[in-house]
Structure 1
């Protein structure tokens, strides 16, 4: 299968590192014109230059904006008026006992993980429908199905994304625009590395070793019994954004290594 996204304009939110960067790289490799987004202009520009060099002249641009606020969303849509492919990857996560999560923290997770994607879709989907082609992908998580007891505030937002994506797929019915969710499981992202950095240094282990141990200890239902790479998640997203995936919409596509124990 040859995926060709030449001529398509793509925006990947929160794409300066981790899963977002892997997705942006994969889309650019498939020929799409890609907009990198992050909160800090210097970081965004650094990644843009890195990808242009790595991919030998790929059409990559940058747009810095903090999507945890409505003002940040307006700034991004003003800088990037229209796209054919939208990947809503912006999100935060962190371990926190339920009784220590105050109202402000709930609101922060809701604004960053849920409303960022709502605002992006509300702006960009109208043009996609008018043009008769488009792809919207929400990066959810297996935690939206298996709510983690130590990250209830995170799991709730990932479940919300599934509902929103399904509803938006119906909004776009018959238009040539598809809306899907992709659900990674434990993934060797920069965020995961930051979370276990002290442990890796203390125990003298690689991030891969720590990741595999985490999966076996805390996601024992995993069938692959290891942590996934960001590229493995990106592969599913790139396919979902392709013409070949035109009959897939309203779906929750798992890249969780079989963690969710269901058929």
Structure 2
């Protein structure tokens, strides 16, 4: 199966690195015009150069905006007024005990992880419906279904994305627009590598080895028994954005290596 997205414009939020960049690369390699988004001109410009080095004929638009509030989302909409594919990847995470998580932190996670997707979907979906084709994908997490005790605020925001995705799929039912969620599990991303950098230096272990040890200790239900790569997650997203995925909507698609221990 060859996935081609020629003539389509895709926006991937928070795509200057990590899973977002891998998704942008996959979409660009499939022929889509890609809008790269990040919070600073420097990181977005660097992502453009990296993407061109890996996909030399990529058609790229730069969209610098911080999506943690309404003003940032409006700034992004001014830079990229219309898209055929929206991948809501922007998000923050970090462990914190429930009793130490104040209202401001809850609000920060809600605005970034949930409301950014609400605002962008509200802005872009009408034109998708009008043209009877479009793709909206929310990058959620296995933590949406396997809420971590040390990151309840994060898990709640990711569960909310599943409700939002399913509700929007029903709202645009009968059109050529699909709305889905993709749920990565533990993934070796730029962020994970930065978190374990000190351990890599101290122990001499590779990032992949440390990730595997984390899986076996903290996610023992994993069937894969290793962390995923960003490209493995991106492969699922690119498929969901494709013409071939026209019968998949309202779904929560796991790329978690089997961490969530059920058969659905």
The TM-score bracket by the shorter chain reads over 0.9
Secondary structure of 1:68's match?
Answer: coil
Q: 1:132-162 deviations in whole A, cap 9, x for unaligned?
A: 0000000000000000001111100000000
Alignment of 1:167-178 (within 5 A): 167-178=167-178
**Is residue 159 of structure 1 aligned with residue 159 of structure 2?**
yes
Moved more, 202-211 or 234-243: 202-211
Length-normalised TM-score, structure 2 = 0.98
Once residues 105 and 2 of structure 1 are traced to their aligned partners in structure 2, the CA distance between those partners, rounded to angstroms, is 43
Corresponding position of 1:219: 219
Structure 1 outlier segments of 4+, above 6 Å: none
Corresponding position of 1:121: 121
Q: 1:203-247 deviations in whole A, cap 9, x for unaligned?
A: 111110110000000000000100100000000000000010000
Once residues 159 and 21 of structure 2 are traced to their aligned partners in structure 1, the CA distance between those partners, rounded to angstroms, is 23
**Is residue 96 of structure 1 aligned with residue 89 of structure 2?**
no
Alignment of 1:174-253 (within 5 A): 174-253=174-253
Give the paired residue count: 263
**Is residue 11 of structure 1 aligned with residue 28 of structure 2?**
no
Give the C-alpha shift of residue 184 in structure 1.
0.2
Secondary structure of 1:75's match?
Answer: helix
Once residues 196 and 51 of structure 2 are traced to their aligned partners in structure 1, the CA distance between those partners, rounded to angstroms, is 27
Once residues 174 and 31 of structure 1 are traced to their aligned partners in structure 2, the CA distance between those partners, rounded to angstroms, is 27
Corresponding position of 1:261: 261
Once residues 151 and 43 of structure 1 are traced to their aligned partners in structure 2, the CA distance between those partners, rounded to angstroms, is 27
**Where does the alignment leave 5 or more consecutive residues of structure 1 unmatched?**
none
**Where does the alignment leave 5 or more consecutive residues of structure 2 unmatched?**
none
Q: 1:5-47 deviations in whole A, cap 9, x for unaligned?
A: 0000000000000000000000000000000000001110121
Length-normalised TM-score, structure 1 = 0.99
Give the C-alpha shift of residue 57 in structure 1.
2.1
Moved more, 184-193 or 11-20: 184-193
Give the C-alpha shift of residue 55 in structure 1.
1.1
**Is residue 132 of structure 1 aligned with residue 132 of structure 2?**
yes
Alignment of 1:61-76 (within 5 A): 61-76=61-76
Give the C-alpha shift of residue 50 in structure 1.
2.1
Once residues 123 and 232 of structure 2 are traced to their aligned partners in structure 1, the CA distance between those partners, rounded to angstroms, is 29
Give the C-alpha shift of residue 53 in structure 1.
3.0
Once residues 58 and 113 of structure 1 are traced to their aligned partners in structure 2, the CA distance between those partners, rounded to angstroms, is 28
Moved more, 253-262 or 97-106: 97-106
Secondary structure of 1:63's match?
Answer: strand
Give the C-alpha shift of residue 198 in structure 1.
1.6
Once residues 64 and 226 of structure 2 are traced to their aligned partners in structure 1, the CA distance between those partners, rounded to angstroms, is 34
Q: 1:87-135 deviations in whole A, cap 9, x for unaligned?
A: 0000000011111111110000000100011111000011100110000
**Is residue 145 of structure 1 aligned with residue 145 of structure 2?**
yes
Once residues 47 and 229 of structure 2 are traced to their aligned partners in structure 1, the CA distance between those partners, rounded to angstroms, is 19
